[in-house]
Amino acid sequence: MTPIMLGLISGLVLLVLLVLYAILVVSRRGPQAEQPPAAEPAREPGEREASLPVEQIEEIARRRIEADPDLAGIDLDFGATPDGELAVWVNGERYNDIAQIPSADIRAVIQAAIDEFNQAS
């Protein structure tokens, strides 16, 4: 065997040993911390339960309502009705469709929250 071939074989053996060592080190590491689940918005006492995306849209809408002095104090809640349908409660009044909400400003805030959520997704 020529010195070049011996050098190549030695290099390959060294490379294989390094790869095996790397595999051994990685496999001996303890369990890795998992990514935390998507943060769920805080649920206030008495708030109706809804899916995570609906809760996130509700939080965006609430933030927008709080930022608008004309709408400050509006109580908004999204949730599931007993029959499993989605409903919106505005100041305690239940609406099964956003179009039923009498206030155009509230409808606009909810639509803007939906649009913001969709753009972020």
Element (H, E) at 54: helix 52-67
State how many domains the chain has: 1
Residue 120: what pLDDT? 86
Residue 67 in domain: yes
Mean pLDDT of 95-109: 94
Residue 71: what pLDDT? 93
Mean pLDDT of 96-111: 94
Q: Which residue has the tokens 């060294």?
A: 14
Which residues lie below 8 Å from residue 48, measured CB to CB, with a gap of 6+? 77, 78, 79, 80, 89
Residue 18 in domain: no
Residue 115 has pLDDT above 80, yes or no: yes
Residue 97 in domain: yes
Parent domain of 61 = 52-120
Predicted TM-score of the model (pTM) = 0.57
Mean pLDDT of 73-101: 87
Residue 55: which of 88, 84, 83 has the closest Cα? 88
